[in-house]
């Protein structure tokens, strides 16, 4: 754990759980106040919750042997905040904070308060289990020549790739395997691929007017190892209308978008919220990329809320498919030529 990337990866698992008393105590802490002041003076954006942002920043800047400005820069980038000259601003903030720090004892006391509020995201236990299993598997194999030291980020990247589904096929080759009729529109083929890539099985029988038996006879859900994300993006982006058929979309907005500031939440349309709802339930190998294609911000607060939401609520995939079909039909009607005007 000596590199910047290793520490950054580990600290990504950190969230804070604060009582009202703890929040008040941390808000009054002079070290955190000085850090917030330094970041404001340097022009570093601190998001909708400056105190929690400063607590994360303090943790990122603390590990020995890592450059504090670079760690702060990564922390800012993790929150999806647009900031020009972020490298220079983070350097100024760290320098100003270092000049204003009064004593190591006070800094240590502040760090202790921050660490008391630290909690781990639920996925940490699973990732640790996988990392330890990978280490055990490596230890049972005969040593190879020139093996370099094991790095946490390499193992996690390998696990994320292994978690993807098991037969690697592109959208084009998938369509070739299915032998769709030449009259099957591209939007329909994308929708069928989208359905095939969902984590919940969809009953085609409830869409008799849109999917014919000949079209769906070979579409039993298969295990895709690496999902082609382009058709998934295309289907999600095609949702430009919301038909009020997702029962828990309001719950999703209230619970999973609380990590955004008020202005960002208000600027989201109902169709975009529906797109984020769908992204929340995609396979874990493409989930984050689907979310960021709609909304660049994906911080720990949002990720933790999405985990809890998926545990509590069922994915209303059939209503999602109906919404996609509705948008496709409206798009086709809008593109159709107007009927000729009868001659008088």
With CA atoms as reference, report the closest residue to 232 among 182, 273, 293, 274. Answer: 293
The length of the chain, given as a count of residues: 344
- Please check the confidence at residue 325 and state whether its pLDDT lies above 80: yes
With CA atoms as reference, report the closest residue to 197 among 152, 234, 165. Answer: 165
pLDDT, tens only, 193-238: 898 888 888 888 888 778 777 677 666 545 556 788 889 999 999 8
Of 81-95, 241-255, 301-315, the poorest mean pLDDT is in: 81-95
Report the interhelical angle of 186-196 vs 317-335 (nearest 10°): 170
pLDDT at 321: 92
- Please check the confidence at residue 167 and state whether its pLDDT lies above 50: no
What is the model's pTM? 0.51
Structure tokens at 333: 């009607």
- Please check the confidence at residue 34 and state whether its pLDDT lies above 60: yes
- Listed in sequence order, the residues at least 6 apart from 33 whose beta carbon sits closer than 8 Å to its beta carbon are 27
- Listed in sequence order, the residues at least 6 apart from 182 whose beta carbon sits closer than 8 Å to its beta carbon are none
CA distances, 210 to each of 129, 190, 194, 205, 334 (Å)? 44, 14, 15, 10, 18
Map tokens 């942002």 to a residue: 53
Structural contact between residues 291 and 298, judged by C-beta atoms closer than 8 angstroms: yes
Please state, in angstroms and rounded to a whole number, the distance separating the CA atoms of residues 283 and 290.
10
pLDDT at 244: 82
pLDDT at 11: 84
pLDDT at 155: 65
- Please check the confidence at residue 3 and state whether its pLDDT lies above 80: no
Alpha carbon 127 to chain centroid distance? Answer: 16
pLDDT interval class at 256 (50, 70, 90):
very high
- Please check the confidence at residue 1 and state whether its pLDDT lies above 60: no
* Burial track 90-121 (b if 16+ CB lie within 10 A, e otherwise): bbbbbebbeeebeeeeebeebeebbeebeeee
Map tokens 């598997």 to a residue: 137
Rg, C-alpha atoms of the chain = 25
Q: Percent of the chain beyond pLDDT 90? A: 21
Q: What are the DSSP calls for 172-238, one per residue?
A: HHHHHHHT--TTS-HHHHHHHHHHHTSSS---GGG-TTTS-HHHHTT------SS--HHHHHHHHHT
């Amino acid at each position: 754990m000596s590199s910047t990337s290793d520490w950054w990866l580990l600290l990504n698992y950190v969230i804070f759980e604060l009582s009202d008393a703890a929040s008040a105590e941390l808000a009054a802490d002079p070290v955190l106040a000085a850090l917030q002041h330094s970041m404001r003076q340097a022009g570093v954006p601190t998001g909708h919750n400056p105190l929690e942002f400063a607590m994360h920043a303090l943790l990122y800047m603390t590990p020995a042997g890592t450059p504090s400005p670079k760690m702060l820069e990564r922390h800012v980038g993790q929150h999806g905040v647009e900031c020009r000259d972020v490298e220079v601003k983070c350097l100024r903030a760290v320098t100003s904070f270092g000049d204003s720090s009064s004593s190591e004892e006070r800094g240590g006391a502040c760090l202790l308060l921050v660490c008391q509020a630290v909690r781990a995201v639920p996925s940490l236990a699973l990732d640790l289990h996988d990392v330890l299993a990978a280490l055990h598997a490596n230890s049972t194999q005969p040593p190879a020549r020139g093996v370099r030291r094991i790095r946490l980020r390499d193992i996690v990247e390998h696990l994320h790739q292994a978690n993807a589904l098991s037969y690697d096929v592109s959208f084009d080759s998938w369509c070739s395997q299915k032998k769709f009729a030449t009259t099957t529109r591209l939007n329909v083929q994308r929708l069928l691929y989208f359905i095939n890539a969902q984590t919940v099985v969809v009953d085609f029988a409830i869409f008799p007017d849109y999917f014919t038996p000949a079209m769906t006879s070979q579409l039993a859900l298969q295990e895709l190892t690496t999902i082609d994300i382009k058709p998934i993006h295309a289907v999600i982006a095609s949702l430009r209308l919301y038909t009020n058929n997702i029962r828990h979309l309001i719950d999703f907005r209230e619970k999973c978008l609380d990590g955004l500031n008020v202005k960002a939440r208000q600027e989201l349309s109902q169709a975009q919220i529906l797109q984020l709802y769908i992204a929340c339930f995609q396979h874990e190998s493409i989930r984050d990329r689907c979310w960021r294609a709609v909304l660049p911000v994906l911080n720990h607060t949002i990720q933790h809320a999405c985990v809890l939401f998926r545990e509590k609520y069922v994915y209303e995939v059939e209503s999602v498919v109906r919404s996609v079909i509705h948008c496709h039909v409206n798009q086709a009607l809008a593109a159709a030529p107007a009927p000729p005007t009868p001659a008088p």
